[in-house]
Amino acid sequence: MEKTKKLFIKTYGCQMNVYDSERMSEALGEDGYEETLNPNEADMILLNTCHIREKAAEKVYSELGRFKELKANKPDLKIGVAGCVAQAEGEEIIKRQPLVDLIVGPQSYQNIADLASNAVDGRKQIDIAFPEEDKFSLLKQKRAGQRGPSAFLTVQEGCDKFCAFCVVPYTRGAENSRPVSRVIDEAKHLVESGVKEITLLGQNVNAYHGTGLDGKEWSLAKLIWELEKVDGLARIRFTTSHPNDMTPDLIEAHGTCKKLMPYLHLPVQSGSNKILKRMNRSHNAESYLSLISKIREVRPDILISGDFIVGFPEETDKDFEDTISLIKNIEYGQAFSFKYSTRPGTPAAERDQVSEEVKTARLHKLQDLIKKQQKNIQDKMIGRKVHVLFERKGRFDNQLVGKSEYLHAVNVTDPTISVGELKQVHIDKSNPNSLSGSVSN
Ligand code: SAH
Ligand code: SF4
Ligand code: F3S
């Protein structure tokens, strides 16, 4: 179809939103929309939003406010809100910001093109249903051009764990896994369009339990073994996983599956058993530590990454110190850390809150420690050979940037290599946020 209309999409939040935005863009592409990076020339603006912390949700409203003038000058401009804020707040968004024409929740993206074409003459469209079917099977998987060498593939959505701080079970609904055959078909399709590395996505990706090729339920490890057979696919990653779903077959796969990369994002949130209990995490610090040792037994060089929340209600100095000792014990190669943010409708929002000052101080202390560990692990890479998949051009002439198997960004200046190539690289230098090296055969 001829592309006659322009679409501007802005994506917030997690990688699942990045994947969803691509799917929505493809679905709207079927309807004549072409993506633009300039909101001023758009016929439709879509914000794919995140509700995980208060600031993330507030950003959406300030962004919408900025489109007021644009809409006044171009009354046909359609403004849509997708993602987790759309799901959590629904119609409220239009009450607060009447310039919004359509609201679409994460389980209804198969309807995006219809919603967009019906959103005319001030007829607001709202779809935040949780239908039964796999939305992705109804979304077109058309790829206009060549893709970069690394891609996301959502295999699981939703969460049944209900951690006391988290909105995801409400915004993404119950755990739901896509059938293995669909995942494999999509992976093959990605590989045909130039992809060499696939990151399997899910809010709880290791809770995956999709229908297998034999009609039985398959685990994430079984799915990974099936993907390993896909010719041309060089690397497999998965994120985000939950400690309670690190099953023995998945741990084992880290030791034996050649294409599975030695990097594991395994959030623990806190090192205090009291806080973990109040968070409803259903694991404790000791079980997390022993899990990490088991994984390191099968894959000693694996890089561990995590998520932390500081200042969860009733967190004392002693609880926080328990988190610090857990971090010292593990040695993280990477970690994401956040001040606890009260989310409406979640159990922890009603409890005794920690002051902002204390949260800030704890966050700084935790981040300083993580930074040191990160740098330490990075520095230890100097002199080692890693494999780098080159993803894009760097800032300098003949410079390319790629990722090592440990997900470190690696820069190499060499006119003989191109984007999409996988090369062995000798690491020469450790920079603040990357490594540099040279191709070595
Ligand atoms: N499913 C993943 C995490 C998804 S949300 C897991 O269970 O680990 C991503 C991260 O955001 C969480 O790991 C947590 O660290 C953080 N987060 C979630 N809700 C939060 C809140 N209310 N305040 C601060 N951080 C939060
Ligand atoms: Fe949120 Fe917990 Fe589910 Fe992760 S496991 S998405 S933190 S409720
Ligand atoms: Fe945010 Fe929704 Fe992802 S709340 S982190 S966009 S699942």
Tell which atom from ligand 1 comes closest to the C-alpha of 204.
Answer: 1
Q: How far is the CA of 165 from the centre of ligand 1 (A)?
A: 8
- AA identity, residue 290: S
Each residue's pLDDT expressed in tens, for the chain with a length of 441 residues? 677 899 999 999 999 999 999 999 999 998 899 999 999 999 999 999 999 999 888 899 999 999 999 999 998 999 999 999 999 999 999 999 999 999 999 999 999 999 999 998 889 999 998 876 667 665 655 554 457 899 999 999 999 999 999 999 999 999 999 999 999 999 999 999 999 999 999 999 999 999 999 999 999 999 999 999 999 999 999 999 999 999 999 999 999 999 999 999 999 999 999 999 999 999 999 999 999 999 999 999 999 999 999 999 999 999 999 999 999 999 999 999 999 999 999 999 999 999 999 999 999 999 999 999 999 999 999 999 999 999 999 999 999 999 999 999 999 999 999 999 999 999 999 999 999 999 997
- For residues 335 and 308, the answer to whether their CB atoms sit within 8 Å is yes
Q: Which long-range contacts (CB under 8 A, 24 or more apart) does 76-80 make?
A: 76/43, 77/42, 77/43, 77/44, 77/45, 78/43, 78/44, 78/45, 78/102, 78/116, 78/119, 79/44, 79/45, 80/44, 80/45, 80/46, 80/47, 80/104, 80/115, 80/116, 80/119
- Residue intervals in the chain for CATH 3.40.50.12160: 5-127
Task: At 363, list the tokens.
Answer: 């966050």
Q: How far is the CA of 242 from the centre of ligand 3 (A)?
A: 16
Mutual angle of helices 248-256 and 285-298, in 10-degree steps: 30
- Residue with CA nearest ligand 1 atom 11: 52
Q: How far is the CA of 163 from the centre of ligand 3 (A)?
A: 14
- AA identity, residue 102: L
* The pLDDT of residue 143: 53
Q: How far is the CA of 17 from the centre of ligand 3 (A)?
A: 7
* The pLDDT of residue 144: 44
Provide residues with CB under 6 Å of ligand 2.
159, 161-163, 166, 168-169, 203-204, 242
- Rounded CA separation 376/379 (Å): 5
* The pLDDT of residue 280: 97
Q: How far is the CA of 291 from the centre of ligand 2 (A)?
A: 19
* The pLDDT of residue 57: 83
Tell which atom from ligand 3 comes closest to the C-alpha of 85.
Answer: 4
242 within ligand 1 shell (Cβ under 6 A): yes
Q: Per CATH, is 385-439 categorized as 2.40.50.140?
A: yes
- Residue intervals in the chain for CATH 3.30.750.210: 145-261
* The pLDDT of residue 170: 94
Q: How far is the CA of 91 from the centre of ligand 2 (A)?
A: 25
Q: How far is the CA of 381 from the centre of ligand 2 (A)?
A: 33
- AA identity, residue 198: I
Quick one: which ligand is closest to 335's CA?
A: 1
For domain 5-127, give the CATH superfamily: Methylthiotransferase, N-terminal domain (3.40.50.12160)
Provide residues with CB under 6 Å of ligand 3.
13-14, 16-17, 50-52, 83-84, 167-168, 171-172, 203
SS (HEC) of the chain: CCCCEEEEEEECCCHHHHHHHHHHHHHHHCCCEEECCCHHHCCEEEEEECCCCHHHHHHHHHHHHCCHHHHHHCCCCEEEEEHHHHHHHCCHHHHHCCCCCEEECCCCHHHHHHHHHHCCCCCCEEECCCCCCCHHHHCCCCCCCCCCCEEEEECEECCCCCCCCCCHHHHCCCCEECCHHHHHHHHHHHHHCCCCEEEEECCCHHHCCEECCCCCEECHHHHHHHHHCCCCCCEEEEECCCHHHCCHHHHHHHHHCCCECCEEECCCECCCHHHHHHCCCCCCHHHHHHHHHHHHHHCCCCEEEEEEEECCCCCCHHHHHHHHHHHHHHCCCEEEEEECCCCCCCHHHHCCCCCHHHHHHHHHHHHHHHHHHHHHHHHCCCCCEEEEEEEEECCCCCEEEEECCCCCEEEEECCCCCCCCEEEEEEEEECCCCEEEEECC
- For residues 262 and 405, the answer to whether their CB atoms sit within 8 Å is yes
Q: Per CATH, is 145-261 categorized as 3.90.320.10?
A: no
- Residue with CA nearest ligand 2 atom 1: 166
Q: Could you tell which of 87, 161, 266 is best to mutate to test the pocket of ligand 2, judged by most ligand atoms within 8 Å of the CB?
A: 161
* The pLDDT of residue 53: 95
Peptide bond into 240 cis (omega under 30): yes
